[in-house]
Amino acid sequence: MKKTARKLISVLLSILLAFSMATVGFAKEKVTPVIVVSGMNAFPLTLADTGEQVWPIQSDSILSVVKDNILPLTEFLFTYNWQKVGDEVIGDVYKALFEKVACDEKGNSVYDVETRIFSKSLDNYPDDFNEDDTVSEGGIARSIMREIGAENVYYFNYDWRLSPMKHAEALNTFIENVKKEKGADKVTLVPCSMGGTVTNAYLYKYGNSSVKKVIYTMSAIQGLSSVGEMFNRNIDVDLDTIMNYIFSIQKDDIKMQIIMALVNTLVEATPCITKFADKFIDDSLVELNDRVYDELMIESMGKFPGWWALVPDEYYDSAKEIFFGGNIPESFEKLIDSYHYNVQRNAEKIMKDTADKGTEVYVLASYGFVGAPYTNQAMTQTDGLIETHHQSGRAVTAPYGETLGKNYVAKSTKCSDKTHRHLSADGIIDASTCFFPEQTWFIKFNRHVGMPIDTDCEKLMRYLVTSDSYVNVCSNEKFPQFMELNRLTGELTSLTGDRIRADLRDKDSSFIIRLVIICDTIIKNIKTNLPF
């Protein structure tokens, strides 16, 4: 009897012990689900009934427009009649390339357009998030999947043309479904690029109670100056800016670097090419700028609420007046005002309130590239698309190719602790003015929403996703506030001030380009001393 009782007690204890161990093991394995909030053009826009891709515009469509207008374009080469070519081409361009993505005066899509939606965890979509995607939002999702498993990672995609306020409602439903599916109280959000507008709209409307962390990744939390300039009809293009853009954006492509160096040498040696190109561009802007806006842009992207969400506050009021020529539809104005005045203008307050209420807020920004080469804001620090100033929450940045100066003193508008050094060693960034000086990291030479797979950038993302406590720029010596990415090796190193380089190359490649630059310098000197 005693033996039987002992055995029974032993069995019960074993069961309790096993249950206890299983419970502990389950607690250790349970992770906070992560939702990557996509940016613009993460997945194509297609017509719901036919599946035809309507955005991004396909090269076949562009070639078709050129083919259909070959006669007026050829005639233009002889007549130089801008208005005639405008009469014959602008309408065709709109109909062929933009009509099917147009929105009406209420900001709704004219056609039944859709994009890919991923309602379940990413282990259900192996073909969409595979090894071919090493960068962009898909690459970021894969990086996080490597760390916490695809079953814990989700992807919120949306039609970027429409209002972020509308997407905020969908994101709220998405978050609640993820929480229910995973039995989680909170999620981590990783808004990328335009995803920052959607995330901040969500935080404004629904608060932070369901959000453990937000990791803004090169997000348009305050818009883009290039879009603000464009919507104020300030288009300014020249050959030199275009070449600077191509040269900076191709930093990791040594062949392109050499080609661009040779092209630059050719252009410098033949100034007539530059003068002709600049005159051609200037003439086109003078003759066709207003017609392109009135007949093409207002009827297409001008009625995308999503694009208006990217107009920075300092441009917004004038843009509405100038872009629409004083005739903005009332219903459309009300729609875009709802996001701008409630969310973008209050981005700092929304993000700080979120942090004050217990959500960890991190910001990843990038610099070292020229901006979009069609406005006078091109020669500023960007990640190749979004200005560093806007994506970082108001960091002070030097113009591209320049520094803040040896005698520059940090503004310290947000961090007044003199022991904290928020100046980059290369003299380009002052982070003391950011919304979150202690939680904002800068990666030099990292392209827009890059964070490429198999690089230290991936490790940084995974570190922020899995950190057990609220970290800052001093928490991990591997990830200081200012870092430099070598895109050839994938290595992130602490930024130093021993040299300020235009881009990164290996030694042999640098030597080749140095030879080209020497030749370029010789030609410049010869040209300077020529009598004509």
Q: Give the predicted TM-score (pTM) of the model.
A: 0.86
pLDDT value, residue 163: 97
DSSP state of 503: S
Give Cα separations from 246 to 34, 120, 230, 240, 312 (angstroms): 35, 39, 20, 10, 25
Instruction: Measure the CA angle with vertex 514, ends 508 and 518; round to 5°.
Output: 150
Question: Which pLDDT belongs to residue 257?
Answer: 66
- For 325-388, list the strands marked E by DSSP: 360-367
Residue 202: DSSP 8-state: H
pLDDT at 502 (0 to 100): 43
Neighbours of 23 (CB within 10 A): 10
- The answer to whether 234 and 376 have CB atoms below 8 angstroms apart is yes
User: Which pLDDT score, from 0 to 100, does residue 244 have?
Assistant: 74
Q: What is the pLDDT of residue 78?
A: 83
The confidence score (pLDDT) of residue 10 equals 52
Q: What are phi and psi of 34, to 5 degrees?
A: -115, 135
Cα distances (Å, whole numbers) of residue 247 to 67, 267, 487, 512, 514: 30, 14, 15, 16, 15
Q: Which residue type does 521 have?
A: T
Output phi, psi for 386, to 5 deg.
Answer: -90, 135
What pLDDT score was predicted for residue 98? 92
Take residue 467 and report the two structure tokens written for it: 């950190």
pLDDT means per 10 residues in the chain (532 residues)?
Answer: 50 45 47 96 94 90 86 84 88 90 94 96 90 79 94 97 97 98 97 97 98 97 94 85 74 67 72 80 84 88 95 96 92 97 97 97 95 86 94 95 90 83 92 96 92 90 95 94 87 71 40 59 62 50
> Tokens 């879009």 appear where?
227
Q: Please give the backbone phi and psi of residue 66, each rounded to the nearest 5 degrees, phi first.
A: -60, -45
Task: Give the pLDDT of residue 29.
Answer: 57
Query: Distances from the Cα of 252 to the Cαs of 246, 255, 502, in angstroms?
Result: 12, 9, 12
Kind plus residue range of the DSSP H or E element containing 53: strand 53-55
Q: Specify the 3-state DSSP secondary structure of 338.
A: helix
β-pairing verdict for 211-217 and 360-367: parallel
Q: What is the pLDDT of residue 273?
A: 75
Is 454:134 a contact under the CB 8 Å cutoff?
yes
Token digits of residue 393: 């929450």
How far apart, in whole angstroms, are the C-alpha atoms of residue 44 and residue 56?
6
Residue carrying structure tokens 């981005």: 347
User: How are the residues of the chain apportioned to helix, strand and coil, as percentages rounded to the nearest 5?
Assistant: 50, 10, 40
Distance CA 234, CA 279 (A): 17
Nearest Cα to 209, choosing from 361, 362, 358? Answer: 358
Cis peptide before 56 (omega within 30 of 0): yes
pLDDT at 251: 63
End-to-end CA distance of the chain: 117
- Phi first, then psi: give them for residue 53, nearest 5 degrees: -75, 125
Pairing assessment for the beta strands 396-397 and 360-367 based on DSSP bridges: unpaired
* Nearest in space to 224 (alpha carbons), one of 341, 141, 307: 307
Segments in 35-163 forming alpha helices (H): 59-68, 70-79, 82-93, 136-148
Q: Which of 39, 49, 89 is nearest to 69 (CA)?
A: 89
pLDDT at 7: 53
Burial classification of residue 12, based on how many CB atoms lie within 10 Å of its CB (0-12 exposed, 13-18 middle, 19 or more buried): exposed
